[in-house]
Amino acid sequence: MLRAFLGLGSNLGNRLEYLQRALGLLEQSPEVQVIRISSVYETEPVGFTEQGKFYNAVAEIKTSLPPRVLLKLILDIELRLGRMRTRSWGPRTIDLDILLYGEEVIQEPDMIIPHPRMVERAFVLIPLLEIWPEAHLPSGEKLADISLDREQSRGITKVYEPTWYPKR
């Protein structure tokens, strides 16, 4: 079993429910165990800013699925939760991203791990550091050392504390 971290995001419909349903569907796979979830943060949209605010969270999982199969599973969960790709960086019911997969570095056209832009995004770093303060890249670089300037951290509000921790 390998430890991985997933980013979750939603800015359409009942955002909290989409995050919860995504975690439930992940747990339904016998090869995925959700270990820990961060608080849920409401965040200003980045990239394409003319859209609703997001709910973002990070989950720690243990999995025996190879990265390619894990990616297929999360894309399948996105489809089952009504994800439509109408424009890039546009609104979505659910977005699931593999942030880290063990200490592995993968550079394939459609699968780059660690997530190439995670270190620039407060909506990823803040929830990730909440559940794994020692988080580091395979290079050894500690994520807590990456300073989030004030501009980056603006518009991020904790809206839900995790009320349950799944089996550890």
* Residue among 3, 21, 36, 97 flagged as catalytic: 97
Among residue numbers 55 through 114, which ones bind ligand X6L (CB under 6 A)?
56, 89, 95
Nearest Cα to 131, choosing from 100, 96, 93?
Answer: 100
Contacts with Mg ion, 56-95, as mask; x by CB under 5 A: ---------------------------------------x
Among residue numbers 124 through 163, which ones bind ligand X6L (CB under 6 A)?
none
Rounded to 5 degrees, what are φ and ψ at 55? -105, 130
Residue 97's binding partner among Mg ion, ligand X6L, none (Cβ under 5 to 8 angstroms by kind) is Mg ion
**Residue 117 among the catalytic residues:** no
* Smallest distance, Mg ion to C-beta of residue 7, A: 6
- Are 33 and 150 a contacting pair, CB within 8 Å? no
- Are 18 and 94 a contacting pair, CB within 8 Å? yes
Q: State the Cα–Cα distance between residues 62 and 13, nearest whole angstrom.
A: 29
* Smallest distance, ligand X6L to C-beta of residue 143, A: 17
The CA-to-CA distance between both ends of the chain, in Å, stands at 13
Token readout for 145 is 């050392």
Q: Is 38 in the site for ligand X6L (CB under 6 A)?
A: no
Q: Which residues bind Mg ion (CB under 5 A)?
A: 95, 97
Q: Tell me the catalytic residues.
A: 83, 92, 95, 97
